[in-house]
Amino acid sequence: MLGRTAVVVLAGLLLLGCQSDTPGLNLSSGTWNGQSLTPPAYLVRVDRGDLIGRPINIGQSSAMTVQYVLADPVSLQPQYIAASSAAEPGNYVILPYSQLNTTGPQITANTTPQTVAMLPHMTAAQIEQHRVAQLPPPAPAAVPVISGLPPVTQPMMPPSQPPLALVRRGSVVGMPVVDSLGQPIGQVEAVATQPGTGEVRYAVVSGPAFGIGNYIAVPSTSTQLVAGRVVVANTLANLTQMPRYRSEELPQTLGALWSN
């Protein structure tokens, strides 16, 4: 038989285990400001979009990134996110979207790593039990126009030539390239320009994340020239999912020819 003092201490420890250091989070009832910590089965799984690949800052020692979004099947509004870290790639913590601040480059939440460890976790197989969202097809790409990259001076070309010219010169060639979070990507190896005007339509970028001898073609509409660097309005994680090309594949892909 436990003594009266031991019973009181044990009851206090049990109560403490159901409490958290996060306002509105009730672990014993499984809710966070009224929203269940467990995603309903009817939610659909989204594995692309603006949230995917974004980092989450909750003071954790191993950085987490968003891998999936569980959304309402009708409105496709996010309800939960599934995030994992490099230390636990197959283990996803489930966070209610309503409790996250997604306005900055990093997603934040008013909680601690200790509390995050007590939130529901799911495996990839469990997440994939949610059917894939039927997202609308992407809109047809508009004809790219020059954004933040300066033009390259070049002579007029006959109308019979391909519409773009690939050149390894110009003020941005050789410049370092970073993503929207300031993370280094690589450098500009060449640009695809409009003959006659020199308007830059694409920046041909190389970097270690794409493999030796591989390039990606970044539309100039998603770039800015800032303090001697080309800043791409995307994250490195998303850019690594873009098609990669060898040097000899670029002309056919961009409808261009190499030019001196």
Asked whether residue 228 is domain-assigned, the answer is yes
Domain at 251, CATH number: 2.30.30.240
Asked whether residue 154 is domain-assigned, the answer is no
8 Å CB contact between 201 and 221 = no
Asked whether residue 141 is domain-assigned, the answer is no
Taken in order 222, 225, 230, 233, is the CA torsion positive or negative?
Answer: negative
8 Å CB contact between 53 and 235 = yes
Name the DSSP class of 229: E
Judge if 119 and 71 occupy the same domain. Answer: yes
pLDDT of 218 over the 50 cut: yes
From 79, 106, 127, give the residue that closes a domain: 127
Using CA atoms, how far apart are residues 65 and 132, in angstroms rounded to an integer?
20
Q: What is the mean pLDDT of residues 93-107?
A: 88
The range of the structural domain enclosing residue 86 comes to 24-127
From 127, 153, 183, give the residue that closes a domain: 127
Write out pLDDT tens, residues 138-158.
Answer: 555 444 444 566 666 555 444
Asked whether residue 132 is domain-assigned, the answer is no
Name the DSSP class of 37: S
Question: How many domains, in total, are found in the chain?
Answer: 2
Q: Where are the alpha helices (DSSP H) in 68-150?
A: 113-116, 124-127
Question: 199 or 257: whose pLDDT is higher?
Answer: 199
pLDDT above 90 covers a percentage of the chain that reads 27
The bridge status of strand 164-167 relative to strand 256-259 is: parallel
SS3 content of the chain, % helix, strand, coil (to 5): 15, 35, 50
Asked whether residue 70 is domain-assigned, the answer is yes
Write out pLDDT tens, residues 153-197.
Answer: 555 444 444 468 888 888 889 999 999 888 999 999 999 888 778
Asked whether residue 39 is domain-assigned, the answer is yes
Domain at 68, CATH number: 3.90.50
Q: What is the mean pLDDT of residues 110-136?
A: 87
